[in-house]
A and B are shown apart, each in its own frame.
Chain A
Amino acid sequence: MNIPAELKYTKDHEWAKVDGNLVTVGITDYAQGELGDVVFVEMPEIGSEVAKEDAFGTIEAVKAVADLFSPVSGEVVEINEALEDAPETINSDPYGAGWIIKVKVADTADLDDLMDAAAYEQHIA
Chain B
Amino acid sequence: MKYTALHAMHEKAGAKMVEFAGYHMPIQYHSIREEHRRVRQTVGVFDVSHMGEIEITGPAALDMVQKITINDASALDIGQVQYSAMCYEDGGIVDDLLVYRFEDKYFLVVNAANKDKDFEWMLKNKIDGCEIKDVSDSYTQIAVQGKKAEATLQKLTDVKLDEIKYYWFTEGELAGYPMIISRTGYTGEPGFELYFANDFAEDVWNKVFEAGAEFDIEPIGLGARDSLRLEKKMCLYGNDIDQTTNPIEAGLSWITKLDKGDFIGREALLKVKEEGVQRRLVAFVVEGNAFPRHGYKIFAEGQEVGFITSGTVSPILEKGIGLGYVKKGFTKSGTPLEIEIRKKMVPATVIKPPFV
Contact = CB atoms under 8 A, between A and B. Distances in A.
Nearest to A33: B16
Residues of A in contact with B, size category:
10 to 19
B43 interface: no
A62 interface: yes
B342 interface: yes
Given A58-B342, A60-B291, A36 B223 contact: yes
**Number of contact residues on B: which range applies?**
10 to 19
A60 B313 CA distance: 10
Contacts of B293: 65
Interface SS of B by simple majority: mixed
A91 B31 contact: yes
A62 B312 contact: yes
A39 interface: yes
A12 interface: no
A37 B342 CA distance: 20
A62 B227 contact: yes
Interface string A54-98: 000010101101000000000000000000000010010000000
A58 B291 CA distance: 11
Given A58-B342, A62-B33, A62-B227, A40 B313 contact: yes
Contacts of A40: 289-291, 313
5 contacts: A37-B31, A40-B289, A62-B33, A63-B32, A65-B293
Interface of B: 16, 27-28, 31-33, 223, 227, 289-291, 293, 312-313, 342
B342 A62 contact: no
Interface in A39-60: 39-40, 42, 58, 60
Contact of A65 (B16, B289, B291, B312): B291
A39 B291 contact: yes
A40 B291 CA distance: 8
Contacts of B33: 37, 39, 62, 88
A39 B313 contact: yes
A39 B291 CA distance: 8
B86 to A, nearest CB: 30
B31 to A, nearest CB: 5
Contacts of A36: 16, 27-28, 31-32, 223
B289 A62 contact: no
Given A62-B32, A62-B223, 18 more contacts: A33-B16, A36-B27, A36-B32, A36-B223, A39-B33, A39-B313, A40-B291, A40-B313, A42-B289, A60-B289, A62-B33, A63-B27, A63-B32, A65-B291, A65-B293, A65-B342, A88-B31, A88-B33
